[in-house]
Amino acid sequence: MFKGITKRWMLNTLSVILTIIISIVVCLIFLVTYLFQSSVEQSLSNTSSELSLVFSGYTSDSSTSFASSARDYVENFKKKEQMEVMVINSTGRVVMTSTGFIPSDDTTLTDFDQAKESADGYAFWNGKLSSGESAMSVTRIISNDSGTVVGAIRYIVSMDPVNSRIMLVSGLIIALGLVIISLVIISGLTFIRSIVKPIRNLSLIAAQIAHGDFSASEKIEHKYDDEIGDLCDAVSDMAKDLQTTEQMKNDFISRVSHELRTPLTAIKGWAETMQLSERGKLDRKTFDKGMGVIIKESTRLTSIVEELLDFSRIQSGRMVLMNEKLDILAEFDETVYMLKERAVKEGKHLLYDEPEAVYPPVYGDRNRLKQVFLNVIDNALKYTPKGGVVAAQVIYNKDEPDIIKIVITDTGCGISAEDLPKVKEKFYKANQTVRGSGIGLAVADEIMNLHNGSLEIESGEGVGTTVTLTFPVYKEGEIQTMPENIKL
């Protein structure tokens, strides 16, 4: 059973081609028939035209005189092998033939009657004789000088040989048409199969990939350097990307599980320690240490959960920004102040000098922007070794009056050229040895996009990393439009 593309091709393209070929064959058969019959008709017409010379100046009114002249013409007729000549008297009765066989009196001579009524004095007839034989004839009237009909000469030709030739040529035309149709069908089906078979294979492979069998992409064969080949490459690349994404997702789940388990283990451990200790027997120092760990790990746990929730909101396009006009310097300064104590505890230098100049405001969600600042500086501190430097600065100049830039530079381990293009992708984590879920930077990048800004990263392995945050300046009187939430 034909289905799909093959069925559509059969119903649409092939039906049109068949209609055209059949129409051409029918037209050619009609043309051949017309040409053959016209050739016979022309031959009869040319032969009959010589009567104007044989009977020119004919003045006798006597039928005997006409019969005598006609007999001489018939006896000397040179084309007896090609056609039969009949002599017809004025009453329409055949009185002489070149074959010697005179038809019966009840034979109807339609062309004789038509010739008598015709202004030209002749008429053609094409049909079947009483014997069933196909024939064509022409009858030319013979009149005297006074215009009286004294008789007629009829030429008749058997059309059976002509019809046989017409059938032969028509058969050849039909055979040629069938050959062309066969070639069209064979070539069409071959071409369709060259499309359908790879697509069918791709469909089966895509189904396997959809069920998680990414190794099925290895079965894809690239045979054609055309759209089918491009589709094969696209499916193969898609499978590789899906496999990579699936691996990244699994790694992400593993990392998140570990990130959640670590604070939960610490919280549970200290809670059990404090519960199992005898009332009043737990010294204050140990109690404070335990409570400090519980609070710290609870905060860390809350941060991870919030990050996951933000990621979920962005994935589903449900993140809502509470936008307002705000001072970007004040927000960034507050974030740096929050992390300075941590930097000191870790033995790292967090350098930032707040500019004395007043910068124009920006339009955005202060909490989300703080989230971006915290994420970027937190990453810089995480990847910077003890004794390293994290430097931040806010840049605004007259050469670029429409934007404000915040640049955070660290002297950490840096990012390899291979990992750099992927660090903002969801689930991706370049350095597996450092804690973190791997989605913080993706969330930060998306928040910047929602603010019509950008997050750009420059890095080199072993030389540190520079992150540049770019914000559009708020302008009074302008309607601030934010892009639609974009799914990661």
The three state secondary structure string of the chain is CCCHHHHHHHHHHHHHHHHHHHHHHHHHHHHHHHHHHHHHHHHHHHHHCCHHHHCCCCCCCCHHHHHHHHHHHHHCCCCCCCCEEEEEECCCCEEEECCCCCCCCCCCCHHHHHHHHCCCCEEEEEEECCCCCEEEEEEEEEECCCCCEEEEEEEEEECHHHHHHHHHHHHHHHHHHHHHHHHHHHHHHHHHHHHHHHHHHHHHHHHHHHCCCHHHHHHCCCCCCCHHHHHHHHHHHHHHHHHHHHHHHHHHHHHHHHHHHHHHHHHHHHHHHHHHCCCCCCCHHHHHHHHHHHHHHHHHHHHHHHHHHHHHHHHHCCCCCCCEEECHHHHHHHHHHHHHHHHHHCCCEEEECCCCCCCCCEEECHHHHHHHHHHHHHHHHHCCCCCCEEEEEEECCCCCCCEEEEEEEECCCCCCCCCHHHCCCCCCCCCCCCCCCCCHHHHHHHHHHHCCCEEEEEEECCCEEEEEEEEEECCCCCCCCCCCCCCC
* pLDDT mean across residues, the chain: 81
Nearest to 380 by CA among 465, 468, 255, 259: 465
- Residues 376, 353: Cα–Cα separation, whole Å: 17
| pLDDT more than 90, % of the chain | 18
Query: Residue 486 above 50 pLDDT?
Result: no
Query: Residue 32 above 80 pLDDT?
Result: yes
Angle, helices 366-382 vs 440-450, to 10°: value is 140
Q: Are 41 and 124 in contact (CB under 8 A)?
A: yes
Q: Give the mean pLDDT of 86-106.
A: 81
| pLDDT more than 70, % of the chain | 86
**Alpha-carbon separation of residue 275 from 148, 270, 308 (angstroms):** 146, 8, 31
Query: Residue 349's pLDDT band (boundaries 50, 70, 90)?
Result: very high
Q: Give the mean pLDDT of 354-373.
A: 88
The pLDDT, as a whole number, for residue 290 is 82
Query: Residue 327 above 80 pLDDT?
Result: yes
Of the two residues 456 and 315, the one the predictor is more confident about is: 456
Query: Residue 485 above 50 pLDDT?
Result: no
Query: Residue 221 above 80 pLDDT?
Result: no
Nearest to 330 by CA among 362, 378, 377, 375: 362
Rg, Å, the chain Cα set: 52
The pLDDT, as a whole number, for residue 453 is 92
The pLDDT, as a whole number, for residue 393 is 93
Q: Give the mean pLDDT of 6-28.
A: 84
Strands 389-395 and 454-460: unpaired
- The values of phi and psi at residue 222, to 5°, are -100, 95
Query: Residue 64 above 70 pLDDT?
Result: no
Of the two residues 23 and 482, the one the predictor is more confident about is: 23
- Residues 401, 404: Cα–Cα separation, whole Å: 8
- Residues 311, 256: Cα–Cα separation, whole Å: 13
The pLDDT, as a whole number, for residue 488 is 40
The pLDDT, as a whole number, for residue 470 is 94
The pLDDT, as a whole number, for residue 198 is 78
Query: Residue 29's pLDDT band (boundaries 50, 70, 90)?
Result: very high
The pLDDT, as a whole number, for residue 24 is 93
The tens digit of pLDDT for each residue in 432-483 reads 555 656 677 888 888 898 889 999 999 888 888 999 999 999 887 655 555 5
The pLDDT, as a whole number, for residue 55 is 67
The pLDDT, as a whole number, for residue 174 is 93
Q: Give the mean pLDDT of 316-335.
A: 85
Nearest to 377 by CA among 415, 418, 348: 348
Region of 4 on the Ramachandran plot (φ > 0 left; ψ -120 to 50 alpha; else beta): left
The tens digit of pLDDT for each residue in 148-179 reads 788 888 888 988 888 899 999 999 999 999 99
Q: Give the mean pLDDT of 37-51.
A: 85
Query: Residue 407's pLDDT band (boundaries 50, 70, 90)?
Result: very high
The pLDDT, as a whole number, for residue 434 is 59
Q: Give the mean pLDDT of 236-243.
A: 79
Among 16-30, 55-69, 331-345, 357-371, which stretch is predicted with the lowest mean pLDDT? 55-69
The pLDDT, as a whole number, for residue 477 is 61
- Residues 154, 181: Cα–Cα separation, whole Å: 46
